Amino acid sequence: MSMLNRSAILIMYSWENASINYTTYCIFDTASLLRYAGTLTIILGFIGNFLSILVFSRKALRSRSCSIYFLVLNLSDICVLIGYTLENLLFHGYGIQFLSSAFMCKSIIFLIYASTDISNYLLTLAAIDRCILISYRTVHRFCRASTAKLLIAIVVILFSLINSHFLYGFHVDQSGLCLPSSMKYIEFYVHHYDSYIDIIKTVLIPFVIIFICNIFIISTLTRKKSLLRRASTLQRRIRQEKDRQLTFFLLLTSILFIVLSLPSEINDFIRTHLSQQFQIKYACQLWISTTIFILLHQIHHASHFYVYTLTGPIFRQEFQKFICHYKKPNYKVDLFDYSRRPTIISPHINHDDIDDQQLDIFPRQT
C-alpha cells in the first residue's frame, strides 16, 4: 500500500507529439495529501457553494445583477469541483478510475475546462457590472437582472462551444487512461491549446479586465470616500450599502482568482515546454508541485462562501435569516419600533424596497 501511495504516474508529451506514461516511486506521499487536503477542500466547497446559492437566491439579493452573476458562479464552481473529484482526487488519491469509459473521459474533461472558463468570465462580467454601476448615479441598463441573465447564457453557450473539441479529441487508451486520441490532436492540445491558448483565454484576458475594473473601482471609491455619501434617503442608503458590499465581494473574489488560479495555469504552460529528460529526472518534484497548484486552484472554487460570510454583513444577515427561518416574534417588535418612520411604511414603495428596508432593522456589523 505504501508503494502504491507514493508512486506517481506522470503523463509526458514530447515535442515529437508522442505521449509517455512514466511511473516512478516518490518519497513525497502525494496520495495522502490529496486524500486529506483534497477531500476536505471538496466537502467544504460543495457545502459552501450550495449555501451561497441559497443565500443569493433570496429576495433581498436576487434582484441585483451582480448577485445573479455570483449565484451562477457558485453553480459553475460546483461543476469544477465535480470534475476535479472524478478526474484527479479519486484516481490519484484513492486509486479509483472513473474515466475508464469513453463517455466519462470526454464529458469530464469537457466539464473541467468549460466550467473553469465559465467561472472566470462570470467573475469578469461581475467586475464590469460593478465598474459600470459606480460610474452612474442611476442604475445603468447593463446592470439589470435581465441583461445579466442574457450575458450568462451567452457565456455558457460560447465557452461550451469553444471547449467542445474535448468531446471528440480525448479517448481511453489501452492502459485505461484518458488521453488525447491522436498525434494530430496531441500537437493541437499540448503545443497550442493547453499551452498559450488556454493561459491567454482562461487567465490573462479575465485577469486584465478584472484588474482594470478593480483599479477603477478602488480609485472611484477612494475619491468619493463612500457610495453612501451620495444617498439622500434611507431607502437609497440601504440600496447603496448592498451595492457597496457586493463590490467588496468582487474585489476579494478577484484577488483569490489571481492568487490561487494563476500558479496552476503557469505550471501547465511551463510543463509543456520542458524536455522529456528533465521531466523524467524531476518527475516527483513536478508531481508534488502540480498537485499543490491544483489544490490551490480548487480552493479558489471552494472558498467563496466563507469569504462572503467573513466579510459581508448583509450576506451574514441573509444567511442568518435562512438558518433561523425568519424569527417573526423578534421581527415584529423591531418593526413596531420603526413603524412611525414614514420612509419605512410608505405605500409607494415596491416589494423589493420593503425587503431592502428590512435589512436596516438588524444591527450593523463592522
**The pLDDT of residue 358:** 38
Residues 6 or more apart whose CB falls under 8 angstroms from that of 16 comprise: none
Q: Which residue, among 210, 244, 218, 196, has the nearest Cα to 359 in the 3D structure?
A: 244
Give the residue extent of every domain in the chain: 39-228+252-323
Give residue 150's pLDDT band: very low, low, confident or very high (50, 70, 90): very high
Split at pLDDT 50, 70, 90, the class of 106 is very high
Q: How confident is the model at residue 345 (pLDDT cuts 50, 70, 90)?
A: very low
Which pLDDT score, from 0 to 100, does residue 43 have? 95
Q: Tens of pLDDT along 264-282?
A: 888 877 887 777 788 778 8
List, for residues 295-329, the tens digit of each pLDDT value: 999 998 998 888 878 777 777 888 888 787 655 54
Confidence of residue 149 (pLDDT cuts 50, 70, 90): very high
User: Would the pLDDT of 4 be above 60?
Assistant: no
Q: What is the pLDDT of residue 256?
A: 80
Give how far the C-alpha of residue 174 lies from the chain's centroid of Cα atoms, to the nearest Å: 35
For the domain spanning 39-228+252-323, the CATH number is 1.20.1070.10
Give this prediction's pTM.
Answer: 0.76
189-225 tens-digit pLDDT: 877 887 788 888 988 899 889 888 888 877 776 665 5
What values do phi and psi take at 34, rounded to 5?
Answer: -65, -45
Q: What is the mean pLDDT of residues 88-114?
A: 91
CA–CA distance, 259 with 228 (Å, rounded to integer): 30
Check whether 26 has a pLDDT greater than 60.
yes
Residue 30: name the closest of 296, 266, 269, 290 by CA.
Answer: 290
Banded pLDDT at 145 (limits 50, 70, 90): confident
The H or E element spanning position 10 is strand 7-13
Q: In a 3-state reduction of DSSP, which class is residue 249?
A: helix
